[in-house]
Amino acid sequence: MLRLIAVSWLWAFSFGINKQWVAGADPVMVTLIRLCLALLTLLPWMRLPLGGRAGVPRLMVIGAVQYGVMYIALNYCFIVLQAYQVALFTILTPLYVAIIYSWRSGRWPGSLFAAAAVSLLGAALTESWQIDRRTFWGAFAVMQISNAAFAWGQVAYKDWRKLRPLENDGRIFGWLYLGGVLVSLVWALFRFNWGETLDYSSSRWSALLYLGIVASGAGFYLWNTGATQVKTGVLAVLNNLKSPLAVLVSVIFWGTSVKMSPGDWGFLAAGTLCIVGAALAALKATETVVYPP
């Protein structure tokens, strides 16, 4: 659980870094660069799974969806939204985790959906500002593609590791990044102006290095490995912890134009407490699920 909390803070800062120095770049190229850097971060430890080559395609599919599809959709949203708004538009992720987990396991536990609902409410309470309605529905729809892809990947990796308790995460996690790289590379080959990278400033490259190595390379590894060590209810709930944290970081560190009234701070505190409370309740819930192969 501590890994998930630590990564939530890490990603809360990443939203602002992305908006400040990376937004405006082609989202497909940003995705490709970040995932290539993430892959290089784990490449020295990358080995075949204990079961041999047979496990590689599954791992690459998980990474292609969780990182490739998710990132391309996410980075598109940074073009039209504020950093904290992108974070807030991810609030349905716990619900997707609950639905995907239940569908894969064949059981629909009410406690899991209750925890996801409270987490969703907690994140929703932090959204108290108006946005440009011309961009709302399009950006919201794209973010749901991102959310569903990320949720599916978490549950799929958790399931895969549940059946292979002797597997070493550090040896095999690079295959997920490779799957994400291939998705973004194919897309980039068909639509990207590669000369754009020549105009990237040193600040943009520095931000991409941080986002690729730390936020993606270390962050996603810690998140997915942390997901294998907690109950699904806790995992679902903590997907939304980054939402109030991103608002807080955006206001304090990134100079956002958002004005926080006493009431806004109250909603932010209440939303955070909802998420923390739901996570603590999920810790006590029983989880007896047979995972599919």
Q: Could you report the per-residue pLDDT of 181-227, keeping only the tens digit for each?
A: 999 998 888 776 778 888 899 999 999 999 999 999 999 999 999 99
What residues make up the domain containing 102? 2-284
**155 within domain boundaries:** yes
**289 within domain boundaries:** no
- Count of domains in the chain? 1
Cβ pair 51, 164 in contact under 8 A? yes
Question: Which pair of tokens denotes residue 106?
Answer: 């064949």
pLDDT at 147 over 50: yes
Q: Of the given ranges (94-103, 104-113, 158-167, 258-267), which has the lowest mean pLDDT? A: 258-267
pLDDT at 48 over 70: yes
Nearest-angstrom CA–CA distance, 170 and 88: 31
Q: How far is CA 13 from CA 40, 67, 130, in A?
A: 22, 19, 22
* Residue 24 pLDDT: 80
Query: Which amino acid is residue 228, in one-letter code?
Result: T
Nearest-angstrom CA–CA distance, 80 and 166: 44
**290 within domain boundaries:** no
Q: Which residue has the tokens 């912890």?
A: 241
**68 within domain boundaries:** yes
Q: pLDDT per residue over 80-118, tens digit each?
A: 777 667 767 788 899 999 999 999 888 888 888 999 999
Identify the CA nearest to 101 among candidates 162, 183, 11: 162
Nearest-angstrom CA–CA distance, 77 and 83: 9
* Residue 130 pLDDT: 53
Nearest-angstrom CA–CA distance, 235 and 272: 16
Question: Which pair of tokens denotes residue 7?
Answer: 């990564």
How many other CB atoms are there within 10 angstroms of residue 232's CB atom?
A: 25
| Mean pLDDT over each residue of the chain, to the nearest integer | 87
pTM of the model: 0.89
Query: Which amino acid is residue 17, in one-letter code?
Result: I
Q: Of the given ranges (60-69, 180-189, 255-264), which has the lowest mean pLDDT? A: 255-264
DSSP reduced 3-state for 128: coil
- Express as a percent the part of the chain with pLDDT over 90: 51
**69 within domain boundaries:** yes
**292 within domain boundaries:** no
Residues sharing a CB contact under 8 Å with residue 177, sequence separation 6 or more, in sequence order: 35, 38, 39, 42, 63, 67, 217, 220
Angle, vertex CA 192, rays to CA 210 and CA 61, nearest 5:
65
pLDDT band at 62 (very low <50, low <70, confident <90, very high): very high
pLDDT at 293 over 50: no
pLDDT at 274 over 90: yes
